A and B are shown apart, each in its own frame.
Chain A
């Protein structure tokens, strides 16, 4: 009797869900099961006949599992994604995508520290993650940010409520020889509520209501989008220790640059360093020449953000506004550096405009 009561309650819930979201395919599948269970015992979840294209049923089953898992395995409050070491004051939010969970987590910037405020079911690439090639229908893994807001009226129905492109391939991707383009966060066509977990050409797809509410949090050029395979979790003290050690290295780099001691300054750069069009040797030669010619240098760093790169071993993307003054040249620019831990010390492996 208890089971029967639960089934009735479930039927009422699913009917309500369908009333609210008439295109929610998964809800219909559950409704079908609840009805069929009253006629005969179910053999499986999504008990449709075998002649139906099984990949469609499989997609809905996977969606159900992903949604259930997100409910059952919510990160506890003390857990934070290992990637968000520091946000700059202008970054109101950061997005972290857990590909295995088909879940997008939204973190608010709480005085530089992340605080979970929302999470959404997402659809990713048909062929999974780690995009490397144009047309491989995979979602990239990495640290990105939203670069534009494409409103609904400029898009076909396929993209639903809107789209926010991200900067794939970034400097790191290009350095690894990865190509392709047009990785967006976007909505779904009007005839569906959501899509299966692995169905896009590499984009991150949200239901239209979710995209609309997420869209309110996004700031063009600012909001980080970190896409991980499976999110690594950490806690606040561990994150703070990592942040502090990197912040100390960054400060030492700034001070050493200001000191005009080129060897101390260059000691912050890895042998595998590369900048656009330069390797370590050409970079070192150039810096020795420039720094040596200065009577004084003042470097100020502002709006620093530090985001650990998923999948890479101890690589952090550091972005800041650099206020450079010297006799002869003064400028302020946005800069991006990739820092990597080499033999226990933080070294710069990439530097370029941010």
Chain B
């Protein structure tokens, strides 16, 4: 039995490793090209960046980050139509990503097509209701559209030259800084309805053990919160948890209970977590928290300080920001 088992284990492991190696090697090459391209683009070498991006795209033509970067490069190079095509195609292929809509809108706005810009930004916000950049840009587009409407209201758009000077006056003062493309590549976001499973599910890998345990606790905490399982949720807090503002534990628990059970629905998502082990029993986890309820939608950065007590990771402190 033992003999038979061992090679089977080995075989299975070997296949997984080989597969991982092939995929990993290709992914690594692509990732290198993409990273290089991003670096080159940032340092102002748009043409070289474009070459790297094209290499990355040759390996995987649908890759959204590379396509997005290519769109940015074209925007930078003043190739409006090419950039527009890329962002437009991205919105079709990845209708849940807000950034391509946003950049599409920026190009439309640059062409004076404010109605189209507005539609794209509204779509961007529909995909991600808390997308601040789109809101800011949309505000600018509304202000632009308003200034156009005012221009018509005041007959400043007539063919007579004097009137046109007055028109540019209106536009100048109403105009806000022109919308800027989002510089960062899109982060594929989890649908907010789900709690992101962030930890690799490989408990047999000993190196990942501690961080995995920590992340399991954090995910469990977010899930209990999402399910509005208040007892489960409160169970993730250590006895000596530092309540915000030094509130009495009882009072804090009571508030949490009312808040959580008072909502019709809650969805908590955890994005890009970063675990720091201070000791085998102490860890910090920083992440982007997406909170969606029937009453409130927020995105914020959060850091949890956790301690391991009796084999369980518990929250000792909850901090806003990194």
| Residues of A with C-beta under 8 A to B153 | 25-29, 31-32, 46, 48, 60
Nearest-neighbor residue (CB-CB) of A29 within chain B: B153
Pick the 5 closest A-B CB pairs, nearest first. A32-B149, A36-B146, A28-B153, A49-B173, A29-B153
Q: Which chain B residues (167-208) contact chain A, with CB distance < 8 Å?
A: 169-170, 173-174, 176
From DSSP, what is the main secondary structure of chain A's interface residues? helix
Known: A32-B147, A35-B146, A48-B170. A25 touches B152 (CB 8 A): yes
A38 to B140, CA, bound (A): 10
Q: Which of A27, A33, A56, A191 lies in contact with B154, CB distance below 8 A?
A: A56
**Distance between A19 CB and nearest chain B CB, rounded to angstroms:** 13
Nearest-neighbor residue (CB-CB) of A35 within chain B: B146
A216 within 8 A of B: no
A64 to B158, CA, bound (A): 22
| Residues of A with C-beta under 8 A to B143 | 35-36, 39-40
Most buried by A among B138, B154, B158: B154
A33 to B166, CA, bound (A): 19
A52 within 8 A of B: yes
Nearest-neighbor residue (CB-CB) of B148 within chain A: A32
From DSSP, what is the main secondary structure of chain B's interface residues? helix
- Contact string against A for B residues 118-156, beta-carbon threshold 8 Å, 1 for contact and 0 otherwise: 000000000000000000001110110111111011111
17 cross-chain CB contacts under 8 A: A26-B153, A29-B150, A29-B153, A32-B147, A32-B150, A33-B146, A35-B146, A46-B153, A47-B146, A48-B150, A49-B173, A52-B150, A52-B156, A53-B154, A56-B155, A60-B153, A192-B155
**Distance between B319 CB and nearest chain A CB, rounded to angstroms:** 33
A266 to B170, CA, bound (A): 69
Contacting pair B173 A51 (CB below 8 A): yes
A259 to B187, CA, bound (A): 106
| Residues of A with C-beta under 8 A to B152 | 25, 28
Known: A25-B152, A25-B155, A28-B152. A53 touches B166 (CB 8 A): yes
Q: Which of B142, B150, B158 lies in contact with A28, CB distance below 8 A?
A: B150
A29 to B146, CA, bound (A): 8
Interface residue count on the B side (C-beta < 8 Å)? 23
Q: Which of B142, B155, B176 lies in contact with A35, CB distance below 8 A?
A: B142
| Residues of B with C-beta under 8 A to A46 | 150, 153
Nearest-neighbor residue (CB-CB) of A25 within chain B: B153
Most buried by B among A25, A31, A32, A56: A32
A192 to B138, CA, bound (A): 30
Contacting pair A52 B154 (CB below 8 A): yes
A27 to B156, CA, bound (A): 15
Contacting pair A35 B149 (CB below 8 A): yes
Q: Which chain A residues (38-89) contact chain B, with CB distance < 8 Å?
A: 38-40, 46-53, 56-57, 60
A48 to B155, CA, bound (A): 13
Contacting pair A51 B170 (CB below 8 A): yes
What 10 additional pairs, Cβ within 8 angstroms, besides A29-B149, A36-B174, A51-B170? A28-B153, A32-B153, A35-B143, A35-B145, A35-B146, A38-B142, A39-B142, A40-B143, A46-B153, A56-B154
A39 to B150, CA, bound (A): 15
Contacting pair B169 A49 (CB below 8 A): yes
A48 to B153, CA, bound (A): 10
Contacting pair A32 B146 (CB below 8 A): yes
A38 to B138, CA, bound (A): 9
**Distance between B170 CB and nearest chain A CB, rounded to angstroms:** 5
**Distance between B166 CB and nearest chain A CB, rounded to angstroms:** 7
Contacting pair A31 B149 (CB below 8 A): yes
**Distance between A13 CB and nearest chain B CB, rounded to angstroms:** 14
Contacting pair A49 B170 (CB below 8 A): yes
**Distance between A11 CB and nearest chain B CB, rounded to angstroms:** 11
Contacting pair B146 A52 (CB below 8 A): no
Nearest-neighbor residue (CB-CB) of A32 within chain B: B149
A244 to B143, CA, bound (A): 62
Contacting pair B154 A48 (CB below 8 A): yes
Contacting pair B154 A51 (CB below 8 A): no
Contacting pair B142 A36 (CB below 8 A): yes
| Residues of A with C-beta under 8 A to B170 | 48-49, 51-52
**Distance between A52 CB and nearest chain B CB, rounded to angstroms:** 5
Nearest-neighbor residue (CB-CB) of A60 within chain B: B153
A29 to B155, CA, bound (A): 11
| Residues of B with C-beta under 8 A to A52 | 150, 154, 156, 166, 169-170
| Residues of B with C-beta under 8 A to A36 | 142-143, 146, 174
Nearest-neighbor residue (CB-CB) of B176 within chain A: A39
A35 to B144, CA, bound (A): 9
Known: A49-B174, A51-B169, A52-B166. A57 touches B154 (CB 8 A): yes
**Distance between A271 CB and nearest chain B CB, rounded to angstroms:** 55
